[in-house]
Amino acid sequence: MLYPFYFDDTYILILAAAAFSMWASWRVNSTYNEYYKVQSRKGVTAAEAARLILENNGIYDVQILRTQGRLTDRFVPSKKVIYLSDYDSTSIASIGVAAHECGHAIQYASGYMPLRLSQAISPLCAMGSNLGIPILFVGIIFSLTGLIDLGIILFSLGFVISVITLPVEYNASNRALAILEQYHILTEDELTGTKKVLRAAGMTYVAAAAASLASLLRLLILTRRNDD
């Protein structure tokens, strides 16, 4: 009988994805910490930069609030709130992350299609992905090929979510960098450091997609191997 969580040679996929995820996490934290020490020459705070960006894009109904933690910044469309973990920081890292969240707010206000698609299907994909493994187990226990295939299809929806997230996140970062330059919030050399922070943050989403793909591939290999 096949047990998807037992240790076998396909675990190299999981281990490789885990190593990539740990590297991406280390990279974003180390890069952020490096440029958190670099203060903006203009002395603008992350919150002030965010407000300037929003107002210059005609967005006046989004609140900017502080939140606990480090790198816990996020835009919550349902509440129209941008949460900043380093609200009062004048570092180019904090300003860059704040601008990234503003990029999401601009996406939302302009009806950016990948963001709309993500918001529309993510809840259903998440539910389907969570049901995938139990259904797969039932199919394995009773040797029902149809249920096994259904479980894998549902589980693969988690990978779909991670893939759809990538263009949304990278577009928000590209918008952020362009806006910071356009409004002269940061100088050219400061933008270089900010770009490194946002690119490092983007790799965490690539790592998440890689981890999801690795798990999916492992299930496919094990179930097809069991059929043979």
List the chain pLDDT tens, one digit each, 228 residues: 444 555 678 889 999 999 999 999 999 999 999 999 999 999 999 999 999 999 999 999 999 999 999 999 999 999 999 999 999 999 999 999 999 999 999 999 999 999 999 999 999 999 999 999 999 889 888 889 999 999 999 999 999 999 999 999 999 999 999 999 999 999 999 999 999 999 999 999 999 999 999 999 998 988 887 665
- Give Cα separations from 103 to 13, 69, 97, 107, 176 (angstroms): 34, 21, 10, 6, 6
Task: Give the whole-number percent of the chain exceeding pLDDT 70.
Answer: 96
181 is catalytic: no
Of the candidates 34, 48, 101, 181, the residue annotated as catalytic is 101
Task: Tell me the whole-structure pTM to 2 decimals.
Answer: 0.90
**How far is the first Cα of the chain from the last one, in angstroms, to the nearest whole number?**
12
Q: Quick: pLDDT tens for 183-202.
A: 999 999 999 999 999 999 99
Tokens (6 digits) for 41 = 């020459």
Give the residue extent of every domain in the chain. Answer: 11-227
